[in-house]
Amino acid sequence: MSSVSTSAGVTPAPLSQSHKKVIFASSLGTVFEWYDFYLYGSLAAIIASQFFSGVNETTGFIFALLAFAAGFAVRPFGAIVFGRVGDMIGRKYTFLVTIVIMGISTFMVGVLPSYASIGIAAPIILIVLRMLQGLALGGEYGGAATYVAEHAPNGKRGLYTSFIQTTATVGLLLSLVVILGVREVLGVEAFNDWGWRLPFLLSIVLLGVSVWIRMQLSESPLFQEMKDQGKLSKAPITESFFSKNGRIVLLALLGATAGQAVVWYTGQFYAMYFLTQSLKVDPTTTWLLIGGALVIGTPFFVFFGWLSDRIGRKKIIMAGCLIAALTYIPLFQALTHYANPGIEEASANHSAVVIADPDTCNFQFDPVGKKQFTSSCDIATAALAKAGVPYDVQDAPAGTVATVMIGDTEIASYEATGLAKDEAAAQSATFNAALKPTLVSAGYPEKADPARINKPMVLAILALLVIYVTMVYGPIAAWLVELFPTKIRYTSMSLPYHIGNGWFGGFLPTISFALVAATGNIYYGLWYPIVIALMTFVIGSLFLRETYKVDITK
């Protein structure tokens, strides 16, 4: 199925101090790069208010998630560009360049004027910076994973590359710690106003440390051997994707990294968004709980990497995809039960229904902020979605003005099409004045009650979701490295990894929240990761082979 032999005949020595230095330096530099990348995701709600204030709140948040996803969208292109450079020039210098691009781009987000200051230029520049971050990260991961793997002894590649696998989670944890620390020192108001910039500005310090660390490293011994022998690939892109190797790249994407990606982002980012946006848990509590889950779960990256050296990579990753797909809905329902039981109780006792002409109910996402959603159905569903209220939509005859039923109470919506601004504002005030007290009286909480949050149970659920992540992510680097030969390894493994994580994973928050807003079902967004994880389980189980006994030095 794959070519795993190489012309390099050097077998890496057993773990030495130099090998430990390689693992530490590669991992620490990659932690800093993930820190830079995930600051944006952790601060998506604040960034929405700073850079997308020209649209309504719901569209602004989804647009902010889309800008977050833009960084993921270009990661495969970074994988192609920097993968080619890494296979032709070397691993060390390639991921030295990527970290410089990442650090400078992140610093620039910290000094970028807001929408209020420079208008539409602000979100445009922000998206450009996010794309530069994505390009850099596209070249970073493959280089770090390949570099460590090519230093590791046979039989221990899963263990040693698992330390690289911890870096994404540790980088996320570091971003949360810095955010919480700055927020605590400055206070919520100052942090939301300008203090959110400080974690981005700190990246310039981390950049200096990372560059210094990586300057101390030597080139990969397997790559250096091939270079000395004049056996490097002259066309790594052609050899990777336009030969029999291309089939393995495609299978690695669909049968490994796509499922791994959606499990990763569901277990960490989507869980965070679900708590803050759907369940209305305050950000500080959410970050502390997510941070605690990451602390509990992170050692399992190393455990499953170690285990994959003994029983194989494939069976652990496939098991993680299957278990996640089968348990996501009950686990997120349990999150609702333990984090904000008021939503669960109110929905059971006083269900919300929007009765409307289905032709007037639109998919309320407009990334450029030009379209106005003014139908009575759109106004009603937007109000409920913003309030975090689950609802069903019931069809009514054509031309019917939408109404909202909360239990036995009926509230009329209104048509805003063609209304003057002042008249639309008056109609909105009347509608909200009727809707909000009705929701409160029906038991729908405006925010999660801190006294009713069962923090130990929420932490346990979040930790379990992170352990799913470690099952699919801990062994994936070793599996990808072992699928491809040394001369095209950087390019070949980087593309499926970054398409899987950049596209299938990176767009998960945007797609899932749009699905929730469209249906009114706060769990409906989970069907996206469930379907992708099941696809990977089937394709990976049937068409990808086990590699943990492969000797990549031959």
Q: HEC states along 359-381?
A: HHCCCCCCCCCCCCCCCHHHHHH
pLDDT band at 47; cut points 50, 70, 90: confident
pLDDT value, residue 11: 45
Residues 162 and 478: their CA atoms lie apart, in Å, by 8
Segment 438-457, tens digit of pLDDT: 999 998 998 899 999 999 99
User: What percent of the chain clears pLDDT 90, i.e. is strictly above it?
Assistant: 33
CA triple 65-68-72, angle to 5 deg: 130
Question: What angle, 0 to 180 degrees and rounded to 10, lies between the N-to-C axes of helices 476-483 and 157-186?
Answer: 130
pLDDT value, residue 9: 40
pTM higher than the cut 0.85: no
pLDDT value, residue 308: 96
User: Looking at the predicted structure, is the pLDDT value of residue 437 above 80?
Assistant: yes
pLDDT band at 535; cut points 50, 70, 90: very high
Top pLDDT among 339 and 129 is at 339
pLDDT value, residue 424: 81
CB 332 within 8 A of CB 275: no
Top pLDDT among 287 and 337 is at 337
- 45-49, 213-217, 230-234, 299-303: which range is least confident on average? 230-234
Tell me the CATH class for 344-441. alpha beta
pLDDT value, residue 17: 61
Average pLDDT value over all residues in the chain: 82
Segment 90-108, tens digit of pLDDT: 666 777 788 888 888 889 9
C-alpha closest to that of 55 among 357, 307, 364:
364
pLDDT value, residue 254: 94
Once rounded to an integer, what is the mean pLDDT over residues 340-348? 90
User: Looking at the predicted structure, is the pLDDT value of residue 171 above 50?
Assistant: yes
User: What percent of the chain clears pLDDT 70, i.e. is strictly above it?
Assistant: 84
- 18-32, 293-307, 499-513: which range is least confident on average? 18-32
Most confident listed range (134-138, 207-211, 377-381): 377-381
Q: Which residues belong to CATH 1.20.1250.20 in the chain?
A: 17-340+450-543
Most confident listed range (132-136, 148-152, 211-215, 295-299): 295-299
Once rounded to an integer, what is the mean pLDDT over residues 513-527? 83
Q: Which residues belong to CATH 3.40.30 in the chain?
A: 344-441
| Burial 443-462, CB ≥16 within 10 A → b, else e | bbbeebeeeebeeeebbbbb
pLDDT value, residue 230: 55
Tell me the CATH class for 17-340+450-543. mainly alpha
Top pLDDT among 314 and 221 is at 314
Amino acid at the residue 536 = T
CA triple 323-328-334, angle to 5 deg: 125
